[in-house]
Amino acid sequence: MKTLVTGGAGFIGSHLADALLARGDEVTVFDNLSTGKLENIDQALANGAELIEGDILDQDLVEKVMQSVRPQAVFHLAAQGEVQRSIEQPAFDATQNVVGTVNLIEASKNIGLDRFVFASTGGAIYGEGSNLELPASEEIAPEPLCQYGMSKLAGEQYLALYRRMYMFNSVALRFGNVYGPRQSPKGEAGAVAIFGELLMAGQNPVVFGDGLQTRDFVYIDDLIEAILTASRTDVEGPINLGSGEETSILDLLSGLREAGLSLNGDGPPEGTDFEPSFDRGRPGEVRRISIDPARAARELGWNPTTQLKSGLRETLSAMAASADDITHA
Q: Active-site positions?
A: 148
Q: Amino acid identity of 143?
A: E
What are the counts of helices (DSSP H) followed by strands (DSSP E) for the chain? 12, 13
Angle between helices 147-166 and 100-110 (to 10 degrees): 20
Which residues, at least 6 apart from 223, have a Cβ–Cβ distance to it below 8 Å?
12, 175, 178, 241
Q: Which of 175, 251, 245, 244 is nearest to 207 (CA)?
A: 251
Whether the Cβ atoms of residue 140 and residue 164 lie closer than 8 Å to each other: no
What is the sign, positive or negative, of the torsion defined by CA atoms of 306, 309, 310, 314? Answer: positive
Helices (H), the chain: 11-22, 42-46, 59-69, 83-88, 90-94, 100-110, 147-166, 191-201, 220-231, 249-264, 294-300, 308-327
Angle between helices 220-231 and 11-22 (to 10 degrees): 60
Give the C-alpha distances (Å, rounded to integers) separating 289 from 53, 56, 80, 176, 221: 35, 30, 21, 9, 21
**Cis amide bond preceding 283, omega within 30:** no
